[in-house]
Amino acid sequence: MQGQITTANLGYPRIGEDREWKKALEAYWSGKLGQEDFKVEMERIQLAHLEVQKAKNLDSIPVNDFTYYDHMLDMAVMLGVIPARFKQAGEEWSLNIYYAMARGNASATACEMTKWFNTNYHYIVPEIGEEAPRLIENKPLSAYRFAKAKAGIEGRPVIVGLYTFLKLSKGFPAQQLGEKVKQFLPLYVQLLKELETEGVAWVQIDEPALVTDTGVEEFALVESIYAQINKEVPKLHIMLQTYFEAAEHYERLVKLPVSGIGLDFVHDNGGNAASLAAHGWPADKWLGAGVIDGRNIWRSDLDAKLVLIQALLKTVPQERIILQPSCSLLHVPVSLQREVKLNETIKGSLAYANEKLDELVLLRALLNGQNESGISAGLDSSRQALSQFRSLPERNRKDIADAMAAIDAVREKRNLPFSDRVKLQRGKWKLPLLPTTTIGSFPQTPEVRQARLKWRRNEWDQAQYEAFVNREIESCIRIQEEIGLDVLVHGEFERTDMVEFFGEKLDGFLFTQNGWVQSYGSRCVKPPVIYGDVAFAAPMTVKESAYAQSLTSLPVKGMLTGPITILNWSFVRDDLSREAVANQIALALKSEVLALEDAGIEMIQVDEPALREGLPLKQRDQEAYLQWAVKAFRLSAASVQDTTQIHTHMCYCEFHDMIDSILALDADVISIETSRSHGELIASFELQGYDHGIGLGVYDIHSPRVPSVDEMSEMIDRALRVLDPELFWINPDCGLKTRGWAETAPSLKNMIQAAQIAREKLQNVKA
């Protein structure tokens, strides 16, 4: 890696240009693809990804970034961190065990799933027990051999670092971190020694936890990890890779005995660049300069990137700089090639994974003084594309600018406090103790997806499609009535993704054909793109919600996605602050909330499952984010009548340290996904309490298993030890869109039975 500036990728999207990876997984799970054929198909996909990167002429290509489900799950299985409930006699590990850990099975609940730092990706949380870890398989070595044999690539194996792996795991108290390091470090050393023996030159060890609030004592633990690794494998070049924020303890970080350190210069809020300028760079290390945004889809301003890199060159020699994305390209779609329907001006402003790699190569050529005409033309083309995009009228609306200037006059508090509202709402709704409901969506069957496809292809006209949706809504209402739910939903059969649906109906959004990214496992989403000013155009949900309410005397909730979730689950324009964009969305949703209320829908759920995932990684920045996020939610929902009940929903996150902010939302009822981590949140309520309506998810909808009545009763009982029964709701932990009716109906029937048992217990106590 000596000579001129070089390039590297940190990780490539897994899903494939046509989501081949997702399709292979689901075919295997459904039994349509046998295990051997499945492995062959996964190898084919893996090889295709390597070949694409090789064709880009990158200097360093990652290997072991490919996975059969999730990279943290891979590390857990590789290191023997397999909970006892999944083990089978005589088996160290198998694909069945691997997928049971991710998805659960008939006899065992899945491992917890949560957010990968502050991204839209979810990882499987390793459960570290008392059993001693062991190296079951050197997966990075296998990946290195595969790339070398099949593609002629001298790859750079990628490994989740020991500090990050343990910080993101559960099953041991924080004070035992040092003890766990001693347990696992020999396995890391063994793994790295095997790579060194194989002839591997560079290994990328990802330590994104080093951008979080790492204490002084913990950083000393990091120093001990890398000192031991350097002692045992001194000839192996290690690129210690950080991303998502500025690294902590910069002066100590750059003294670690590694060959290179990767820093994020896109999402660091200027912190890494400032540290580099203030404290310099060691002469014996390479700098992995994360200059291309690995988390958003906008084309880079190459002139700005050149200025940034020239600033780095004042401190770091050119031959010691490796240009790379700010993080793995896991978080962006694969290729723009299939985006044939986008407006050309807008398409010219975008860069997916493949195009981001092209930008790296172009920057390398410019900085290394290559003067070919194609290089100059590439820079000119980029400049022109961005200039045309920035001048679009949709990005410069005066009416939206005026609304933002007057936003302080918009009501963001309810007329009455919750303690007064709840009395009025009880009188209005007359619900039983421990009311039951669902989170909103019901199974999207193949018939539902086919109908939507026919409509989108113009094989059905609007009237045909609406008639189909209405039949599905009526069927769903009847099923809910038969099951015995107290508050119903219309089922959301007209919706695809919960953010995409609203983005299609609001001004300022655009939609791609193939902009898919992985959310978790085989679950892929196609995030909307916020490219312009966001504004309400016309009612979006009133027709279906009002129709559902006309079919039943029971209350039907209107279902909306909240402003922060729309923001955090979209690719967001990067010329405005995220706060400003959130407020634009909030004002648009306020109009929809009032339209629902005017139509007689007076229970309205404004979902915020992604509230926490936008939380800054630095604690010092979190309070400001929470303040403006809470404000945006309240702007969208606070203008309703006192008797109108506002619900919200959150999922996939740790909430114990933000209960105050959840209360500040002032939603009448919040439902929270807790089925995989129920005990942890209950423990928080034992310490802090909660005085608004709340439903803790009593079963995991991400697993196909049907939970028993006893399981759910146990969860309800524990919650009621610390929460007011008068304020407690019973519901699944998330929407049911991804499940089938075969498990949905029995699961809900068991939930209703568990609710009835809990009611009887409470009545007996009163008696």
Tens digits of residue pLDDT in 473-511: 999 999 999 999 999 999 999 998 888 899 999 999 998
Q: How far apart are CA 610 and CA 616, in angstroms?
A: 13
pLDDT at 654: 59
Nearest CA among 190, 204, 160 for reference residue 70 = 160
pLDDT number for residue 371: 75
Binding-site residues for Zn(2+), in ranges, read 649, 651, 673, 734
Mention every residue, 6+ apart, whose C-beta is less than 8 A from residue 262.
10, 204, 239, 240, 241, 242, 243, 287, 288, 289, 290, 322, 324
Instruction: For the chain, list the domains and their CATH numbers.
Output: 6-390 (3.20.20.210), 418-505+540-766 (3.20.20.210)
The whole-number pLDDT of residue 677 equals: 55
CA neighbor of 360 nearest in space, from 312, 293, 315: 293
Question: What pLDDT was estimated at residue 675?
Answer: 60
Q: What is the pLDDT of residue 641?
A: 97
CA distances from 766 to 56, 279, 332 (A): 72, 68, 55
Q: Give the pLDDT confidence score for residue 612 in this predicted structure.
A: 83
Listed in sequence order, the residues at least 6 apart from 2 whose beta carbon sits closer than 8 Å to its beta carbon are: 319
Other CB atoms within a 10 A radius of the CB of residue 91 amount to 11
- Binding site members: 19-22, 115, 439-441, 492, 523-524, 569, 607, 613, 649, 651, 673, 734
Q: Are 258 and 239 in contact (CB under 8 A)?
A: yes
Binding residues for L-methionine: 439-441, 492, 607
The catalytic residue positions are 702
Give Cα separations from 596 to 136, 359, 525, 547, 648 (angstroms): 56, 46, 27, 12, 16
Our measurement of the distance from residue 335's CA atom to the centroid of its chain's CA atoms, rounded to an integer in Å, reads: 20
How do strand 645-650 and strand 693-696 relate by DSSP bridges?
unpaired
Residues in the chain: 767
569: left (phi over 0), alpha (psi -120 to 50) or beta: alpha
DSSP state of 218: H
Cα gap 754→760, rounded to integer Å: 10
Give pLDDT, residue 1. Answer: 40
Q: Which two tokens stand for residue 170?
A: 């559960």
Give the pLDDT confidence of 302-328 residue by residue, as tens digits: 999 999 999 999 999 999 999 999 999
Low-confidence ranges of the chain (pLDDT < 70): 1-3, 89-92, 652-656, 675-683, 686-687, 767
Question: What pLDDT sits at residue 2?
Answer: 46
* Cβ neighbours of 600 (radius 10 Å): 13
Output the pTM of the full model. 0.89
3-state secondary structure of 203: strand
SS3 62: strand
pLDDT computed for residue 731 by the predictor: 94
Report the alpha-carbon distance of residue 289 to residue 265 in Å, rounded: 7
What the block records as the tokens of 169 is 């795991």
Amino acid 613: pLDDT:
80
| Tokens 């924080």 belong to residue | 174
Q: How far is CA 112 from CA 79, 649, 678, 679, in A?
A: 18, 18, 10, 12
Rounded Cα–Cα distance for residues 229 and 457 (Å)? 57
Torsion angle, CA of 547/551/555/559, rounded to 10 degrees? -30
